[in-house]
Each structure stands twice: as structure tokens, then as C-alpha cells.
Homo-oligomer: A and B are copies of this chain.
């Protein structure tokens, strides 16, 4: 294989013609494959079938709190559900609020409270701080970025490195008291699968910040989502470090069972210091009488405890791993030696990040869409959807069945090659 950039113009022209023909014939297939989002597949969803009928009219409906799950009450969730999600989040049950079925909503609501009331240590509500800023790691998760953008924060970009955020840069930026927080996905980060090192987590907990209300939104979305459960990544407990440095109120952690049971119909939870739980509760008590406890009961019966969740997650891994391995195999076959693409090989989570030649990502996504394969929009991995080098593409292999994924990867690899050749020819 010859690297594309070493090719002569004539070689590139020939290659372009050949790839264009292939592309035309792929397009003629009339594919319609959607790989835009990290959705679990039908096969994964079926792993939870048992939950449909796990509650019966004979199931006791009163738990440890003495409250009927079918009636009003329990602002923070049932004790059983708080204990379960406490195990997931690695905190005590009384540091947990189980709140509905979306951790994204719990993050959003946390920031909305910050806007209107301020956080526990805010000198004033964030809406009164016109030059408010929020740190966004790149590449990162578009929905995180969109929330803080919608709330009027300036998004400050920091590179996500192999071991987590570039902490030298973060420590410098947070000296500015208008920088109010940072989004983190500490394990199997969306989209590049990075696992934060112990050192990074310690520095996040320890750093001095200009803002007394600086907040780490610790979205542990993939905490149990190993692709290789026999060698799972583990991360430090940030609350332990934060406590050590007297910054316990800085961290609010989130998790859900969206990719354990049902996407958008599972349990979501946040974990925080007790002072934060009290503060959040003091406003949350006006927002709700309590989230759906019947669904909590269902989940507690089905998931039982952390050990049982880990066993359940092995079934997910057995479905997901072959998909990730297929993508990596196809990438090797297509790209080795060409110098036009590199990619992450994550050990968990839902995404692979593929880096294509500068200026090519948008073109690749457009070409793929034209050929019937919808990818995550180029730029989605960056604040304001602006990837300055236009070279980052998020691959979401979870949803399609293997055969469809294989077709989609054929299209994708072809599109990367075509865009790369076009780019070299245009120089």
C-alpha cells in the first residue's frame, strides 16, 4: 500500500476515478442505515425482557421507607433504589437522588438551578454573571455542549488527552472566577473512550478555582459499560479526593441505567456531598413530589445489586464487542499504510473516534449520507459544532446488526478514501 500523500497527481486522479466508480455503485444500492447516535440495539434491549412482567399485583408495594411505591412521596427516591444507584456511583445511599429516567435531565436541571438560584456556594445566581464560562473537553459529547451553550455560557475548549483533560491548561483556566464548571465523562469518554488517570482525577479534586461555585459535572455514563469485562477499567473515586482537599461540594456525579435496561426509560441518579443533596433537595421539593417509584421497584427487582449488574453488563459486552472489533478490523483492512485515518480502540463505552485528514470530516459525513449511511454530524464532537481541523468523526457501532454495520463500514471507509483523495487533488 502506498500512502496517499506520496502519490503523484496522476496516481491520485486514477485512484479518484476508481473510488468514484465504487461510490456510484454503493450509492445505487439505496442503503438506509442510521449510525448517528449511541443507541443500544434491539438485541441488547431484549436482555431486559424479564422486566416487563417482574412486578405483579402480588409484589409487595411497600419498601423499607414504609411508603407505597404507587403513591406520592419520597423526593429522593426509594431507599432500595438509592442504595442500588449508590453502588453504581460508588457512594453511600444517602448521597444519592434517584430522579426519573434521564441523567441528562438531572444534569440540565442542576445547571438550571445554578442559573436561577446559584449553586450551594454561589455568590449570586449564574444568570446574574453575564460572562459565565464552562469548560468543554474536546472531543466531547454534543448534548453536554448544547446545554451550556443554550444557558448562555461561553464554551472554553480544553483538549482531552490519553489520560483525561489537559490539567495544566484546566488549572490555568479555572483561576478565572467566571469559569463555573467543567463537563467530564471520566470513563470510556464519549467519543474517544479515554479513561481518566488517578493523577488527573486527583488534580481535578485538588485544584484551586477562582469561582467558589466551580462545579464538576461528573457524567459517569459508561461506568459499567466495559467491552472487555475481564479487564475492566477502574477510576478513582473523585469524592474521596475532593473530601481530602475540602472540595467535596464541587462534584456532582451522574449515572443512569439507560444502557443497562432501557434507553430513556431506566433509572437516573445523581450523587453529591450531603450538603449538596440538602441544597438540591431544598429546590427540588418545589419541582416534584418524587420520581416514578414503580419503575424504581421494577429496576431494583431486576438489577438486584452491583454484582448482578456487572453480570448483566457482560451480556451487553458480548453483543457490543464484536461490533467494535468489526469496525476496527475494517479500518485496518481499509486504511493500514494509507496514512489517511487513525482511530481509537476503546475498552468500553459506545463510541470510536476516527480521525481523517484535516478538512475532510464534513465531506466524509456528507458523502456517507448521500450513500445512505447517516453518521453523527461532523463537528458534533466540538463546542459550537466547530471542529477547527474538521478531522474528527464519531463512529457509533452499537445500534445496527453486524451485517448492516459491515455494509455501513464499507461505505464509510470508501467515503474517507474519496474525501482524502479529493482533498489531495485540490491542493
Complex CA gap A40/B295 in Å reads 19
Q: Which partner residue on chain B sits nearest A149 by CB separation? A: B286
Answer yes or no: A69 CB below 8 A from chain B CBs: yes
Chain A 10-43 near chain B by CB (<8 Å), digits 1 or 0:
0000000000000000000000000001011010
On whether A70 and B57 interact (CB within 8 A), knowing A104-B288, A287-B108, the answer reads no
The answer to whether B264 touches A104 (Cβ under 8 A) is no
Are the CB atoms of B48 and A52 closer together than 8 Å?
A: no
The contact string, 1 if C-beta is below 8 Å from chain B, for chain A 278-302, is 0000010011111111110000000
Q: Residue A264 contacts which of B39, B71, B112 (CB distance < 8 angstroms)? A: B71
Residues of B within 8 A of A295 (CB): 265, 292, 295
Whether A59 sits at the interface, judged by CB under 8 Å, is yes
Cβ contact within 8 Å between A57 and B49: yes
If the complex has contacts A108-B286, A287-B108, are A71 and B40 also in contact, measured as CB distance less than 8 A?
yes
CB distance from A6 to the nearest CB of B (A): 44
Task: Tell me the smallest distance from the CB of A128 to a CB of chain B, in Å.
Answer: 8
Tell whether A231 is near chain B: CB-to-CB under 8 Å: no
Whether A262 sits at the interface, judged by CB under 8 Å, is: yes
Cβ-based interface call for A391 (8 A): no
Which residue in B61, B72, B127 is a CB contact (below 8 Å) of A39? B72
Q: Which of B37, B48, B71, B143 contacts A263 (CB 8 A)?
A: B71
Q: Is A147 an interface residue (CB 8 A)?
A: yes
The interface residues of chain B lying within 8 Å CB-to-CB of A63 are none
Closest B-chain residue to A72, C-beta based?
A: B263
| Residue in B closest to A293 when the chains form the complex, CB atoms | B265
**A282 closest partner in B (C-beta):** B150
Residue of B whose beta carbon sits closest to that of A146: B286
How long is the Cα–Cα vector from A72 to B39 in the complex, in angstroms? 7
| Contact in complex: B286, A70 (CB < 8 Å) | no
Please determine whether A71 and B52 come into contact, CB atoms closer than 8 angstroms. no
Contact of A116 with B151 at beta-carbon distance under 8 Å, contacts A49-B57, A57-B49, A287-B105 already known: yes
CB < 8 Å neighbour of A127 from B108, B125, B264: B125
A69 to B48, CA, bound (A): 13
A90 at the interface (CB under 8 A from B): no
Is A53 part of the contact surface with B, judged by Cβ < 8 Å?
Answer: yes
Task: Please tell me if A8 contacts chain B, counting CB pairs below 8 Å.
Answer: no
Q: Chain B residues with Cβ under 8 A from A117's Cβ?
A: 150
Bound: A56/B48 CA distance, A: 11
A3 at the interface (CB under 8 A from B): no
User: What is the CA–CA distance of A143 and B286 in the complex, to the nearest angstrom?
Assistant: 7
User: Within the complex, what minimum Cβ distance (angstroms) separates A58 from chain B?
Assistant: 9
A115 at the interface (CB under 8 A from B): yes
- Residues on B with beta carbons closer than 8 Å to the beta carbon of A125: 127
User: How far is B298's CA from A52's CA once the two chains are assembled, in angstroms?
Assistant: 10
Selected A-B contacts with CB under 8 Å, 29 pairs: A37-B72, A39-B71, A45-B68, A49-B57, A52-B53, A52-B59, A53-B56, A53-B57, A70-B262, A70-B263, A72-B258, A72-B264, A73-B264, A100-B292, A102-B291, A104-B287, A104-B289, A108-B286, A108-B288, A109-B287, A115-B127, A116-B116, A116-B151, A147-B286, A147-B287, A150-B286, A262-B294, A265-B294, A265-B295
Given contacts A101-B291, A146-B286, 4 further A-B contacts (CB under 8 A): A71-B263, A108-B286, A112-B112, A116-B151
